[in-house]
A and B are shown apart, each in its own frame.
Chain A
Amino acid sequence: MEVLEDVQWVLACYTDDVPENGGACVKHGSEQIAVYNFSRRGEWYATQNLCPHKQQMVLSRGMIGSAGEACEPKVACPFHKKTFSLLSGECLSGEDYQIKTYPVRVIDGKVYIGIV
């Protein structure tokens, strides 16, 4: 039997709060979540704001882009340029780090993040 987890959709911010092709940080309780407006592709992503490499709260200030033939969307930490997949949270710089990703929905100019 499959158990579906309850996803709670939280209003994070408005679309024009997040710069085009960049990120911004959202406060959810004591959690910090980075939201990315990948406007070049018309896509939105969200991850934890903490870079696991040197424990810095900065991923929302990183540059986003794509990696490889499949154009995997990614973010680069501004501190040491470790890159992470925005889809899986996997570290793409060949190290064993993993960051949390969240589903995002945009409805009527409002950005919602799915919290499990």
Chain B
Amino acid sequence: MKPTIVVVGNGMVGYKFCEKLVARSNAYRIVVFGEEPRRAYDRVHLSEYFAGKSAEDLSMSSSSWYADNGIELHLSDPVQEINLEVKAIHSLSGKIINYDYLVLATGSGAFVPDIPGIEKQGVFVYRTIDDLDKIKEYAVNAKSGVVMGGGLLGLEAAKALIDLGINNADVVEFAPRLMPRQIDTAGSAMLQSKLSQLGLSIHLNKITSSIEGDGCVTGLRFNDDSLLETDMLVISAGIRPRDELARLAGLQVGTRGGIVVNEKMQTSDPAVFAIGECALYEGMIYGLVAPGYEMAEVVVSQLTANDKTFNGFDMSTKLKLIGVDVASFGDAFISEPDCRTLVFEDTHKGVYKRINISNDGKYLLGGILIGDAAAYNMLLQTVNNKIVLPPDPEDLILGARGAEQSGGAGVMNLPDEALICSCEAVSKGSICSAVNNGAVNLDALKKCTGAGTGCGGCVPMVKDLIAGTLKANGQYVKNVICEHFDYSRQELFDLIKVNKLKNYDLVLDHHGKGDGCEVCKPLVASILSSLWNDLIVKQDTIQDSNDRYLANIQKGGTYSVVPRIPGGEITPEKLIVIGQVAQKYNLYTKITGGQRIDMFGAHVNDLPDIWGELINAGFESGHAYGKSLRTVKSCVGSTWCRFGLHDSVSFAIEIEERYKGVRSPHKLKGGVSGCIRECAEAQGKDFGIIATEKGWNLYVCGNGGSKPQHAQLLAADIDSKTCIRYLDRFLMFYIKTADPLTRTATWLNKLDGGMAYLKNVIVNDSLGIGDQLEEEMQLLVDSFHCEWKEVVNNPELRKRFAHFVNAPHEKDPTVKLETMREQVKAAW
């Protein structure tokens, strides 16, 4: 019979232990006991439970995973007693299991300080999904909430309160700063000001003397006798290792808690291991998940006849707290005179960066990043690998100024043993040798090394390493489209143009190989459209699904419908038609960010009928499905607004009508504001126009989304005609030269010479292509057609909008809708 391993605790680390063990050995019978009613879940992302994720979403494994791997799982059945003499455990439900090895992964509980009134109703801890359910239930009747504890978990808990709709959320911390373990006072001040903007009130240096209220909590009384009123209190004042079971069994525990382990993670009984937040190694509890995983790895190694040991763990960390980047690495707190400290602070943007450098200026010792942690990976590598610093170490936090720095060079200077992917423990050396053995793209590399398959944080570095390794081997690193075309998008664009190729198969026959794929097909489709502006449904199977069905596919396989509403101006009559159509076809309606109306939940079969009715009422396709112009947003301008300088609505409509339907490397958004108050948010768009006393200011290459970027001024005080000429040139230049799926902002960031160069090309016509660009754009403008109009009036094209080809009138029976706030929503 196989020897038995009993795992006590089914948290993240307990689960990881099982996962690692079954991947490496089937020599053991594994029995797991968990206290909670559910399978191990992702506690790190617990706050997402309030942001809409379900308990199942957070689960670490599928429901059948344990059974599939032959693991016996007992939930809601905590182990009550360990008998080290006979090597057996007793569970709450009365199970007695003899073990050969015992793994304690009991984790930690919330530390609850002994304050008078702590037992009152409305006081919660923040640790498990059950805790969250209780908080959720109570928060329904709460208007205000306080979190006690300004550490990492406390701030997560505060975010959870905000997500629950509590507008008055306070954080109380007894230390003089937030996240006292990770960041310094100046960093805390920056974080505090960012968090206050988001509606959190922070109280530092506050010692709570009692919790007020008659039965239910009504406030916190501090030792300076001040009172903070609140409807509920969430305690997140630290963690306490769950060592009670070990203590009872007679295993050695630390004076302040924690099960004492050696470098093999063995407790004072060699057959018993402890891992994760319950384990005390050299006087330290490791309260992060990554060292817990490493401990699991050590035990698995011991049980599979290897001898990996635990030697402490780097507690550097990077996270996003309520939308604010916070990172702390190496020795974050060492200060002068033991080192030299460089600090960069931008109170306007809320950025704080501190690096600590050895007194001889050679090595980076550690640091703190608030507001912008993009440099974290590289800085951490610089510390961990003792890389000698450049003569101007301030470049590390300010970026190289003046001379252009080459992208991957920094990464290539790392030593081979530098750990690049910490989730899967992949070093720089193994990545480079995988590249040398033929894994020359990200997918291949992920497959053979596992790097980048966990949290994904290392992917940019992995990409740089691939490019750097190829370059070092003298291989020309070319930005090719995919395995079927050895060209960049710009090269293929020119080839298709010169050879006047009009369809995908011809392009593939002339310039490619194989049978194409989901990368090159839509890319070629976009180029063909940008060049010839033929009807895209003629080559429907090379289009991305949204372009193939001229609608946006949504959860559950239904589509959304967006008619064009130029400039956001719409007549009451048209509004009524949208309402009638949505009602008739049972669609969910929502106003979009681009000042139009989106109708969701349309069956593919209904699309031609829906559009038939919209077109009859004078609507056109809104091209929301295409990589093309979406909307030109406008403010109401001089026709109504007392501040308006020019008629921004009319100009927005003119521009939207001009560029509608033009296919581009990515979607395009525009805006026109009638004055400097900028109500159309034009500077957040690919092109934005703002009225001035003398004419218009034209801004380009702005972006909202995940990496917001302000548009930059291309030309000032120009008249409408010049503005459109510059726009023609700008858009066509972008369409011809950008990489696929690159927005204008990213395109500009990569453009050699940046804005100065772009201005030269567009305004000064330094390349002498101005006229050509304008002509090419005019061709696209003149050949506009509404794709939906063509489909609606063509019975052959209409036929393609069926779910079942052999039962064209039947709708997909798997589509399920439910009701929310009196409208439909996809049931998932």
Contact = CB atoms under 8 A, between A and B. Distances in A.
Nearest to A73: B515
Contacts of B813: 30
B557 A76 contact: no
Contacts of B557: 56-58
B677 interface: no
Contacts of A114: none
A76 B553 CA distance: 15
Contacts of A21: 505, 541-542
B687 interface: no
B805 A61 contact: no
Nearest to B505: A40
A109 interface: no
Interface string A69-88: 00101101011010100000
B553 A78 contact: yes
B641 interface: no
Contacts of A62: 518, 545
B556 A18 contact: no
Interface string B289-307: 0000000000000000000
A115 interface: no
B541 A35 contact: no
A99 interface: no
Contacts, number: 99
B288 interface: no
Contact of A94 (B446, B516, B800): B446
Contacts of A76: 517-518
Interface string A28-65: 00101001001011000000000000001110011111
A26 B805 contact: yes
Contacts of A12: 806
A40 B518 contact: no
B814 A40 contact: no
Counting contact residues on chain B (CB < 8 A from A), the size range is: 35 or more
B810 to A, nearest CB: 7
Contacts of B447: 94
A22 B505 CA distance: 13
A66 B517 contact: yes
A71 B515 contact: yes
Q: Counting chain A CB atoms within 10 Å of each CB, which of B546, B557, B805, B812 scores highest? A: B805
Contacts of B815: 57
B521 interface: yes
A100 interface: no
Contact of B540 (A19, A32, A83): A19
Interface string B580-617: 00000000000000000000000000000000000000
B806 A26 contact: yes
B544 A78 contact: yes
A3 to B, nearest CB: 27
A57 B812 contact: yes
Q: DSSP class of A's interface residues: helix, strand, loop or mixed?
A: strand
Contacts of B446: 94
Given A19-B800, A25-B804, A58 B553 contact: yes
Contacts of A57: 557, 812, 814-815
Contact of A27 (B542, B555, B810): B810
B497 to A, nearest CB: 23
B518 A65 contact: yes
A67 interface: yes
B484 to A, nearest CB: 8
Contact of B545 (A19, A32, A40, A61): A61
Contact of A17 (B516, B520, B806): B806
A58 B803 CA distance: 9
Contacts of B805: 13, 17-18, 24-26, 35
A70 B812 CA distance: 35
A71 B514 contact: yes
A19 B548 CA distance: 11
B515 A94 contact: no
B803 A25 contact: yes
B548 A61 contact: yes
Contacts of A68: 483
Contacts of A17: 805-806
B541 A22 contact: yes
A77 to B, nearest CB: 9
Q: Counting chain A CB atoms within 10 Å of each CB, which of B520, B546, B804, B807 scores highest? A: B804
B518 A93 contact: no
Interface string B428-455: 0000000000000001001100000100
Contacts of B505: 21, 40
B812 A63 contact: no
Contacts of B807: 27
B124 interface: no
A6 to B, nearest CB: 22
Contact of B814 (A19, A32, A71): A32
B126 interface: no
Contacts of B806: 12-13, 17, 26-27
A78 B446 CA distance: 22
Nearest to B804: A27
A40 B516 CA distance: 10
A90 to B, nearest CB: 13
Given A56-B557, A94-B447, A63 B515 contact: no
Given A17-B805, A19-B540, A26-B805, A61 B518 contact: no
A35 B242 CA distance: 56
A79 B545 CA distance: 8
A63 B541 contact: yes
A76 B812 CA distance: 20
A17 B483 CA distance: 30
Contacts of A32: 804, 812, 814
B530 to A, nearest CB: 19
B549 interface: yes
A110 to B, nearest CB: 11
A66 B540 contact: no
Nearest to A43: B515
Nearest to A58: B557
A70 B580 CA distance: 53
Nearest to A93: B443
B760 to A, nearest CB: 38
Contacts of A24: 805
Contacts of B810: 27
A67 B518 CA distance: 10
Interface of A: 12-13, 17-27, 30, 32, 35, 38, 40-41, 56-58, 61-68, 71, 73-74, 76, 78-79, 81, 83, 93-94
Given A32-B814, A78-B553, 17 more contacts: A19-B540, A20-B541, A26-B806, A27-B804, A40-B515, A41-B515, A58-B553, A61-B545, A62-B518, A63-B541, A66-B484, A68-B483, A71-B514, A73-B515, A76-B517, A78-B545, A83-B518
19 contacts: A21-B505, A32-B804, A32-B812, A38-B515, A40-B505, A57-B812, A58-B553, A61-B553, A63-B517, A63-B522, A63-B545, A65-B517, A66-B517, A67-B483, A76-B517, A78-B544, A94-B443, A94-B446, A94-B447
Closest 4 CB pairs of A and B: A22-B541, A78-B545, A65-B517, A76-B518
